[in-house]
Structure 1
Amino acid sequence: MSSTSPRHDDDAALLSLGQALREAGYHFTTITPATHARVNARPENAQARSLADVFGWSRPFQPELLPSSLLQLMERSGVLIRGDQFCRCAVRASTLDGELFFHSAFPTTALDSVFFGPDTYRFAAAIAHALRGRDRLVQRAVDIGCGAGPGGIVAAKILPQAEVFMVDINEAALRLARINARLAGLAGVTARHSNLLTSLEGEFDLVMANPPYLVDPSERAYRHGGGPLGAGLSLAILDTALERLSPGGTLVLYTGAAVVNGDDPFRAAAAARLARGRVRWTYREVDPDVFGEELEAEAYRHADRIAAVVLTVEQDG
């Protein structure tokens, strides 16, 4: 069983599980995989003792720990993994901006894993920052590579009048994005299978993306950015946005950039593309050092660091 593939296609049960967790006051902040592994490796954390241990830390638990109603909802939604002595949950639940988001359990080793982590919180903040004080009406918005849907959901809460799409090539991600949107009370948000924007027509007033930006030997979709130093997908999203932004439209691209000998190749490649258009843009580092453990990989043998960056582009009106 993959990290998010249900044994029973009962989205209503997973929705009810999320509602039950929220009513119980559930809260969990997802951290980096490396930190998660360190915390779980402590002897006292070998077995779950709370809701957060089960649904956040992905720790094994005895069935008696949870109310039978929660176990039934987990069973019906296909996220309960039973073992000889312990059970596990096939998804995690994290909280952001007052909402609950289902995504893949730890560790995220499956090819169809659905990402959520520190980058997600920074991405949400970047969207809120870009939309703050905006006086132009946003009618159509899209979150490219939506994963669990946080970008589209955050934007839809800020822009209740907008038509918001969440697109991804991962069906497991789209299932969870739909459920997460319903948990947030946003039934009008549309999740659709699409490689970039190939399945959607027309222009967009807002394009958002938090694409994978690492070089992953296993080429997991949620992690592998492709191209030079993992920047391939980020540059493809930039190219697509420049073609599909409406006059005055905005791109918010949160990604990672490998810095080599003090230079940022992704910024240089983006600047070359932007120089050919009629746009205004800003580029800022929001964290100078993320995923430092990746520098031990051959792909990054010449890199100084990997920075988290936000590229904001506004098409001339």
Structure 2
Amino acid sequence: MTTSEGLAGLPTFDAPGDKGPSNADQALVELGRYLSSAGYQHVAITPLSHAHNNQRSGNGTARDLRDIFGWSRPFRREMVTPFEFELMQSAEILTAHGELWRSRVRWSTLGTLLCAHSAYPTDAAEAVFFGPDTYRFAQVIERHLERHAGTVRRAVDIGCGSGAGALLIGQACPAAEVVALDINRQALRLTGVNAALAGLENVVPAYSNLLQDVEGDFDLIVANPPYMLDPQQRAYRHGGGRLGAGLSLKIVDAALNRLAPGGTLLLYTGVAMVNGRDPFLQALQQRLSSLPCAWRYRELDPDVFGEELLKPVYSEVERIAAVALTLHA
């Protein structure tokens, strides 16, 4: 693992062949600052609801910055100011769309944070997703930190994506070292941008598969891994295993060996329920029943991404539920 000096003096751990933060990254931070100063706010919703909104009459092209950066709608050059267009050009996020333009980056708000992530639709292999799962994941983290922020000296967000989990921890625990891990270079880039925009110098993006090549133990490990069955096996979406829980189980196994005494794992994920059974919970019971740890498992939402059940890979699945695991070493 190699280090380089990142945005705002932030050290980042780079993937092989990575050249580190660029001028475009800094321009993207400046764009985020501009949007924040303009009072920009947007809540990221499910892809299906997003599609419904964009298909409504009059929503074919953007009318304001929220349409451009929240709804990923194409826009006419004259709709934005020369300064705004120059910022987008410098950030290298513009794509020609016939005679129109589109941004390859979206911006969504999470509390006081503004987070850059991939534009809709998130079709690319290295897309960085942000949506309702992110907000539920944030609630799990915030609930824990309300009581335990003072105990966190070193934390890690496995599969950080936009960095939302790491940012929340860094914000609530300013004296803690917070490592944000991913194998997706674009995720690490946007996490660095989002950390710099939030002024969080204690959040360190790092290239790692699970906790590989990252040393030491952690007081807090958080993860919001992909849990869908994706035939294209896109990294941000595909959970692996028979029903999408493969990566979630690997994270549990990795965390068990890296939690400091008294440390906590917070895992937010989704479970494909079959014949009234929770196969992820059954796997956890087999793994954890004989170990000296305390854990709590709860269902946060009984029915998410219901449209996925129409796909052949989900032919035996009744529903997909959002769940949270809290495990104390």
Q: Does TM, normalized by the shorter one, top 0.5?
A: yes
Partners of 1:115 and 1:259 lie apart in 2 by 23
2:119 counterpart of 1:81: no
Match of 1:33 in 2: 47
Partner SS state of residue 318, structure 2: strand
Q: Structure 2, unaligned stretches of length 5 or more?
A: 1-21
Partners of 2:152 and 2:253 lie apart in 1 by 21
> Displacement, 1:60?
0.6
| Root mean square deviation, CA, Å | 1.1
Match of 1:244 in 2: 258
Match of 2:212 in 1: 198
Match of 1:283 in 2: 297
Give the TM-score taking structure 1 as reference length.
Answer: 0.95
Match of 1:258 in 2: 272
Partners of 1:111 and 1:42 lie apart in 2 by 28
Partner SS state of residue 256, structure 1: strand
Partner SS state of residue 36, structure 1: helix
Q: Which amino acid aligns with 2:186?
A: A
Q: Which amino acid aligns with 2:103?
A: C
> Displacement, 1:254?
0.2
Of 46-55 and 128-137, more deviation after overlay is shown by: 128-137
2:30 counterpart of 1:16: yes
Match of 1:125 in 2: 139
Check conservation: 1:11, 1:77, Cα contact below 8 A: yes
Partner SS state of residue 141, structure 1: strand
> Displacement, 1:104?
0.2
* CA offset digits 1:139-194 (Å, max 9, x no partner): 11000000000000001111111100000000001000000001111022100100
2:222 counterpart of 1:208: yes
Check conservation: 2:149, 2:173, Cα contact below 8 A: no
> Displacement, 1:134?
2.0
Match of 2:168 in 1: 154
How many equivalent pairs are there? 308
Partner SS state of residue 88, structure 1: strand
> Displacement, 1:26?
0.1
- 1:188 equivalent among 199, 202, 215: 202
Partner SS state of residue 45, structure 1: coil
Match of 1:101 in 2: 115
Q: For 1:60-71, what aligned pairs fall within 5 Å after superposition?
A: 60-71=74-85
Partners of 2:277 and 2:239 lie apart in 1 by 19
Partners of 2:102 and 2:194 lie apart in 1 by 21
Partners of 2:324 and 2:276 lie apart in 1 by 18
Q: Which amino acid aligns with 1:127?
A: I
Partners of 1:160 and 1:152 lie apart in 2 by 11
* CA offset digits 1:183-223 (Å, max 9, x no partner): 11102210010000002011110000000000000000000
Check conservation: 1:9, 1:78, Cα contact below 8 A: no
Q: Structure 1, unaligned stretches of length 5 or more?
A: 1-7
* CA offset digits 1:1-47 (Å, max 9, x no partner): xxxxxxx7521110000000000000000000011011101121001
Give the TM-score taking structure 2 as reference length.
Answer: 0.92
Partner SS state of residue 148, structure 2: coil
- 1:270 equivalent among 276, 281, 284: 284
- 1:141 equivalent among 132, 155, 160: 155
Percent identity of paired positions between Structure 1 and Structure 2: 53
Q: Which amino acid aligns with 1:23?
A: S
> Displacement, 1:126?
0.3
Partner SS state of residue 237, structure 1: helix
Partners of 2:151 and 2:319 lie apart in 1 by 38
Moved over 4 A (4+): none
Match of 2:124 in 1: 110
Check conservation: 2:174, 2:202, Cα contact below 8 A: no
Partner SS state of residue 44, structure 1: coil
Check conservation: 2:67, 2:73, Cα contact below 8 A: yes
Partner SS state of residue 205, structure 1: strand
